[in-house]
Structure 1
Amino acid sequence: MENFVFQNGTKILFGKDEEHQTGIETAAYGKNVLLHFGGGSIKKSGLYDTVVASLKEQDANIVELGGVKPNPSIDLVREGVSLCREHNIDIILAVGGGSVIDSAKAIGIGAYHDGDAWDFFTGDAQVTDCLPIGVVLTIPAAGSETSGGSVITNEEGEYKRAVGHGTMRPAFAILNPVLTYTLPAYQTACGITDMSSHIFERYFTNEKNVDLTDRLCEATLKTIIQQAPLVLEDPENYAARAEIMWAGTIAHNDSLGVGRSEDWASHDIEHEVSGIYDIAHGAGLAIIFPAWMKYVYKHDVNRFAQFANRVWDVEIDLNDLEKTALEGIRKTEEFFSSIGMPVRLSEIDIDEKHFEEMAKKATDRGPLGGFVKLQDEDVKEIYQLAK
């Protein structure tokens, strides 16, 4: 096990009606609030009214910025930075899913930067501070409610890039599973895929003697696998929704990665797909992750066989570990397909046209991955396996 420092200061308020605490939690950071959200769903559901009423009970000065889309754009981030400076914003309140939260974080770091917020995502600037972020989560998926990372898209050049820093972790996050009842099945499935992928990125490690976190990863994955069909069958199953919502947070609050090297190649490879084609991140991961697994499993057949056995209950064939490993990969792909996810690029009408371009862009800052180092030719081969 590697040395590690673990600190996650996000306060979690979990359960029914906790969104009514939004005003009290926000007031601890100041009066001037940038209320950041996506489209009209929070207004249709009544959540917008609840949040605004809670803020006004604390005499908050509310500045609104809606319009966040999946794969949030740097253009809206720039608008948010200008609003923060103009209105002397004390805290950004993100009401929505990972895209809204990621956008809020980018605004939060941009408010402390004299240049363009995109500088952080190209590596031309380093994060030093971030405005406090509060969250009312509506989509369990990205885990951004307790993570220190943000992913933003720049339509100019079709780039999708990530940045992370401890100051970007939200100050508080409100998680009420009831708020997820109205999510479409496809969006729910995309979230399930995303949180599963966050665990995969940590599970496939070269670090030895990390059985405790192996077991924690496996337990979280098995919970997701068990609860996913229940949520899709009965969207108002509170118990199942609660399990999925908490699993999404655990998957990406860094506790599953302590003491172990991580990979993250699959996320970078997928970012190029959604950066160009603007598909849902979870759908892209359902396609890319099994392809990545097929490409790298021989690097550590034992770990893939363990994954197959402990997560998918595949009996280990001691005479043919490769067979066991491949069965685990097959079951992973089968699971994604069973919840309505695409598992081939062809299923979403993506051909080979941009494979070389995407592979070069994915590796333009160096090789990808911690489990196996991937160059542009490797990435292109993974796209081929995914087609």
Structure 2
Amino acid sequence: MLNFDYENKTRIIFGEDTHKTVGEVLKPHASKVLLHYGGGSIKSTGVYDDVINSLKANNIDFVELGGVKPNPRLSLVNEGIKLCIEENVDFILAVGGGSVIDSAKTIALGAKNEGDVWDFFLTNKDNNGALPTSTILTIPAAGSEASSGAVITNEDKELKLSYGRENLRPIFSIINPKIYFTLPANQIANGVCDMMIHIMERYFTNTKNTELIDGLCESTLKTIMKNALILKEDNKNYEAWSEIALAGTIAHNGLLGIGREQDWASHNIEHELSAIYDVAHGAGLAVVTPAWMTYVYKTNVDMFVQFAINVMGVDVAYRDSDKIALEGIKRLKNFFREMELPLRLEDLNIDDNKLELMAKKATNFESGKENLLGGVKKLNWEDVFAIYKLAL
């Protein structure tokens, strides 16, 4: 196990109707709030009215900025930064899923730092502070409600990049599983895949003697898969949503990555799909991750055998390590198929025209300082290109 320094300041407020307390919880922290959200779903479900009523009841002044799209755009972030500065906003409340929360975090970053906020994503430099943020989660998936990172798409440059610091972690996040009852099947499936891969990016490692976190990862993955299948048949099952929602937060709040080298190749490889083709992140991960697993598993076959046996239930009677590992990958793909997720780039209407371009962008090859991706196996652009071809 590696040395680590883990901190998580986010207060989690969990349960039915908890979103209606947001004004009371916010009051000690804020005098003027930016209310940030996506499309019309929070209005059609009544969540918007509940939030507005709670803010007004607690005499909290606010301005609004809606319009966040999946794969949140830098252009709207810049609009939000300008609004926060002009209106003297001192707190941002994100009501939405991961895209809204990531957009809010980036606005918070830009409002407290001079210059182009995109530079933080390009250079990973330290910042001089950020406005505090909090969230009301409307889609459990990305885990951004308790994470220190954000992912933003620069639509002009067709780049999707991440940035993270502890001062971006939300002050509190409200999770009401009942809000998720109206989510369509494709969003449930994409969200389930996203949170599973958040765990797997941490789980697959070359670090030895990580038994406790291995077990937590495996248990969380099995909990997600079990309850995802329940929701596929009954999307108003409160207990199943409670398990999924909590698992999504645990998957990405940093706990499951302590003491171990992490990977993150699948996310970086998928980001090119989202940036160029505007693919839903979870759908892209369902295609990319099994291809990545197939390409790298021999580098640390024992870890993939462990996954196959402890998570996917492969019988050790297979005996041969390669067969066990590959059977585990096959069963993961079967689960994704059962959730009606795409399994090939072809399913996402992506052909081979831009695969080499995406591989070179993912590794920053053309800068002359190529960034190798991954932890289990270090991947250059040619490796990434091969993984894309496996995913066709």
Question: After the TM superposition, which segments of 4 or more aligned residues of structure 1 sit over 3 Å from their partners?
Answer: none
For residue 384 of structure 1, what is the aligned residue in structure 2? 389
Deviation at 1:128, TM superposition (A): 3.2
What are the within-5 Å matches in structure 2 for residues 191-340 of structure 1? 191-317=191-317, 319-340=319-340
Whether 2:357 is the aligned partner of 1:357: answer yes
Secondary structure at the residue paired with 2:64?
Answer: strand
Deviation at 1:313, TM superposition (A): 1.0
For residue 105 of structure 1, what is the aligned residue in structure 2? 105
Q: Whole-Å Cα distance in 2 between the matches of residues 106 and 25 of structure 1? A: 22
Letter of the structure 1 residue corresponding to residue 131 of structure 2: L
CA contact (8 A) 1:317 1:323 kept: no
Q: Whole-Å Cα distance in 2 between the matches of residues 37 and 180 of structure 1? A: 16
CA distances 1:16-48 after superposition (whole Å, capped 9, x unpaired): 000011001211212100000000000001100
The normalised TM-score by structure 1 is: 0.99
Letter of the structure 1 residue corresponding to residue 359 of structure 2: A
Letter of the structure 2 residue corresponding to residue 166 of structure 1: E
For residue 367 of structure 2, what is the aligned residue in structure 1? none
Secondary structure at the residue paired with 1:187?
Answer: helix
Q: Whole-Å Cα distance in 2 between the matches of residues 284 and 28 of structure 1? A: 40
Moved more, 59-68 or 115-124: 115-124
Moved more, 127-136 or 117-126: 117-126
CA contact (8 A) 2:10 2:170 kept: yes
Moved more, 317-326 or 147-156: 317-326
Letter of the structure 2 residue corresponding to residue 87 of structure 1: E
For residue 375 of structure 1, what is the aligned residue in structure 2? 380
For residue 15 of structure 1, what is the aligned residue in structure 2? 15
Q: Whole-Å Cα distance in 1 between the matches of residues 245 and 92 of structure 2? A: 22
Whether 2:165 is the aligned partner of 1:160: answer no
Deviation at 1:319, TM superposition (A): 4.0
The normalised TM-score by structure 2 is: 0.97
Q: How many residue pairs get matched?
A: 387
CA contact (8 A) 1:34 1:89 kept: yes
Whether 2:141 is the aligned partner of 1:141: answer yes
Secondary structure at the residue paired with 1:312?
Answer: coil
Deviation at 1:360, TM superposition (A): 0.5
Letter of the structure 1 residue corresponding to residue 376 of structure 2: F
Deviation at 1:174, TM superposition (A): 0.2
Secondary structure at the residue paired with 2:387?
Answer: helix
For residue 91 of structure 1, what is the aligned residue in structure 2? 91
Letter of the structure 1 residue corresponding to residue 197 of structure 2: S
Letter of the structure 2 residue corresponding to residue 8 of structure 1: N
Q: State the identity %.
A: 55
Letter of the structure 2 residue corresponding to residue 376 of structure 1: W
Q: Structure 1: where are the runs of 5+ without partners?
A: none
Moved more, 249-258 or 310-319: 310-319
